[in-house]
A and B are shown apart, each in its own frame.
Chain A
Amino acid sequence: MNFVVPDFYPAAAEIFVAVMALVIMLATTFARRIARTLGYALTQITLIAAAFITIFTMDGQVSYTFSNMFISDLMGDFLKLMIYFSMAIALLYGRSYLADRNIDKPEYYLLSVLMTLGMMVMVTSNHMLTMYIGLEMMSLALYALVAFDRDSARSTEAGMKYFVLGALASGLLLYGMSMVYGATGTLEFSGVAQAVYNQSANSSVLLFGLVFLVAGICFKLGVVPFHMWVPDVYQGASTAVTLIIATAPKLAAFAMAVRLLIWGLFEIADQWQTMLMFVAVASIILGNLAAIAQSNIKRMLAYSGISHMGFMLLGLLAGVVEGDRHFALNAYSSAMFYAVSYVIMSLASFGMVILLSRAGFEAERIDDFKGLNKRSPWFAAVMMFVMFSMAGIPFFIGFFAKLSVLQAVVAAGYFWLAAVAVVMSVIGAYYYLRIVKIMYFDEPEDTTPIQAPAELRVMLSANGIAIAALGLAPQMLMSLCAYALLASL
């Protein structure tokens, strides 16, 4: 039996992060006195170094290693860079918040690094087994992070709820994978695609498996009808953790959807597109309507996240029209652009909640934003940028994200779908603009000056400026998404 030692070079970033996770664990155990600072510093160093490694090993080629279980392509590299970026910013925003509540333990950072590794594995997986293991690594770390504030009953309850529902979703996904394996005889995405193309796969069993795969993906994206966990978990987890859940894992879930559905099951796109259509329409409608009724800003952002993910799915389902694959690249890159812009906006929105919170006080109610303009005109402006961008008001990045997805949907000929999306966006604009209104026209209830460390203020300002600046030049990010997909497909 011949065995060739796999090429480790394409997986250099994954190997580095895995080794660093162990280094962080040991270093923080032995250097107890400075463990909290050390854990944080090493985590940020790991993320930055991993970004450099990813950039240096990026060659624009599609290469496989580890017996074809690992794929290295431009889409994966791009998403990995976005994941490091959003994790690094999320940890930076959350640091003072965690320190105020005495939960900035080194384990928090260790779990964040392992979670990053899980997401990297998902993004670069070419095999259902590694996809599942990456997903579990990410989810297990997330469950623990949600429950990390263990003296808070709400946080523990949210962690438990997320864990039970997440385990159920993983079970569904795994069942779907086993059915796809039963139908095609392989777990490798390219092998699955080959088997479906040759029609050697058993189509009924394949479809049966597909239903479960879509259910698992939808749970991780948090879209209707698998959205039940989203508001409770977002509200129950401490804001720093909510910030993490609402950003990088969405990119990983997007990658999972792309690898499973487009890399593996592109041949039966018309089947999963129909499923995603129901899911997307239901998410956009329910997310936007339910968000109006919320008085807690974390819950409101959770429902808004549901509708945003529904919007993102619109891009994924507009790829193939009656067997015509002409629009596929455009549609998928619009979905990717949407996911990336949502992550940038989401970082800033939860960052604002953290900014207004301080030791012993959670700025969770929408009313806590009242009169923010009088307390800090600049951060009121940043929040206004974020809200305008999320509502899709022109010349912010969120507008171009919505526009490119709608263009893809219209190009695919689903006019009614575009109409529903536009109408619901207009309804959704109400609750975003309400926040702008209370910031500028209401009297502040709470006049304490904002207490936040300088790095949070600087980064949050940069984030707000980025939302506006990328809105003025969206072409750059958009063409980056399109190029990454073009080089990978």
Chain B
Amino acid sequence: MEFKTFVFYFLAAILVFAALRVITARNPVHAALYLVLAFFNAGGIWLLLHAEFLAITLVMVYVGAVMVLFLFVVMMLDINLDRLRQGFWSYLPLGAMIGILLVIEMALVLGGQYFGLEAMPAPPAPGEGYSNTREIGRVLYTDYVYPFELASLVLLVAMVAAVSLTLRKRKGTKYIDPALQVAVKREGRVELVKMQAEKE
């Protein structure tokens, strides 16, 4: 066996194991950590395909940012596992039956013959000085500029939705708007009243 093939199977085995543990782990923190492991292995497999930029982005963005944030959230929330598992056993038979059927059918269709090396030959080795990063950068703002800009608007939708669903104005806080504070005029604070001098 070629070394590269060995590395692929090694990473793939850990990936499948980690992915399974994500959904079977009892502790949500463990599940999140297994997901991190799965991302690392997926990144490794992408490296084998010469997609070094995507591999590093996956690790940096998903492991470095998204999953760390996710871990924080999981740790902050007090998740009641027993309530989450309510009804698990009563749904299991039907769910498992459909799931197993689906997996068997998918395995029958997708089994080696259509995705083997004969059907999908390995891409030709890139030439000297080929840079995956440069290739992505080249098409991202040219050929793919339309979906790229649209994707930014999808993120805007997510942001607006998250803010509008969660932002609450709390009543009774003593917060003072600094802008209003700065803009204060003498007239708003002090009133000069002309009156007769009073004598006793």
Contact = CB atoms under 8 A, between A and B. Distances in A.
Contacts of B142: 3, 67
Contact of A205 (B114, B143, B146): B114
B115 interface: yes
A201 to B, nearest CB: 11
B55 to A, nearest CB: 19
Contact of B156 (A114, A130, A133, A205): A114
Interface stretch (B33-41, B62-70, B147-155): B147-155
Given A117-B153, A140-B154, A204-B109, A129 B147 contact: yes
B150 A137 contact: yes
Contacts of A150: 165
B196 interface: no
A350 interface: no
Q: How large is the interface on B (under 10, 10 to 19, 20 to 34, 35 or more residues)?
A: 20 to 34
B154 A137 contact: yes
B176 interface: no
A179 to B, nearest CB: 9
B161 interface: yes
Secondary structure type dominating chain B contacts: helix
B150 A121 contact: yes
A107 B164 contact: yes
A208 B110 contact: yes
Interface in B130-182: 138, 142-147, 149-151, 153-154, 156-158, 160-161, 163-165
Contacts of A21: 153, 156
A18 B153 contact: yes
A260 B114 CA distance: 23
B42 to A, nearest CB: 15
Interface in A189-230: 202, 204-205, 208
Contacts of B147: 69, 127, 129-130, 133
B161 A133 contact: no
A21 B163 CA distance: 16
Contacts of A3: 142-143
B130 to A, nearest CB: 14
Contact of B157 (A114, A147, A204): A114
Q: Counting chain B CB atoms within 10 Å of each CB, which of A1, A67, A127 scores highest?
A: A67
A11 B150 CA distance: 13
A25 interface: yes
Contact of A148 (B110, B115, B149, B165): B165
A133 B150 contact: yes
Contacts of A140: 154, 157-158, 161
A147 B119 contact: no
Contacts of A143: 161
A290 interface: no
Given A25-B160, A110-B160, A150-B165, A133 B114 contact: no
B174 to A, nearest CB: 21
A6 B157 contact: no
A33 to B, nearest CB: 14
Interface string B110-131: 1000110001100000000000
Interface string A355-392: 00000000000000000000000000000000000000
Given A66-B145, A205-B109, A182 B115 contact: yes
Interface string A101-123: 00001011011001001100100
B160 A107 contact: yes
A142 to B, nearest CB: 10
Interface of B: 106, 109-110, 114-115, 119-120, 138, 142-147, 149-151, 153-154, 156-158, 160-161, 163-165
Interface of A: 1, 3, 6, 11, 18, 21, 25, 66-67, 69-70, 105, 107-108, 110-111, 114, 117-118, 121, 127, 129-130, 133-134, 136-137, 140-141, 143-144, 147-148, 150, 182, 202, 204-205, 208
A-B pairs, 8 with minimum CB distance: A144-B161, A107-B164, A66-B146, A67-B143, A3-B142, A133-B150, A208-B109, A140-B157
Given A67-B146, A110-B160, 15 more contacts: A3-B143, A25-B160, A66-B146, A67-B142, A67-B143, A107-B164, A108-B164, A111-B161, A114-B153, A121-B150, A130-B150, A137-B150, A137-B154, A144-B160, A208-B106
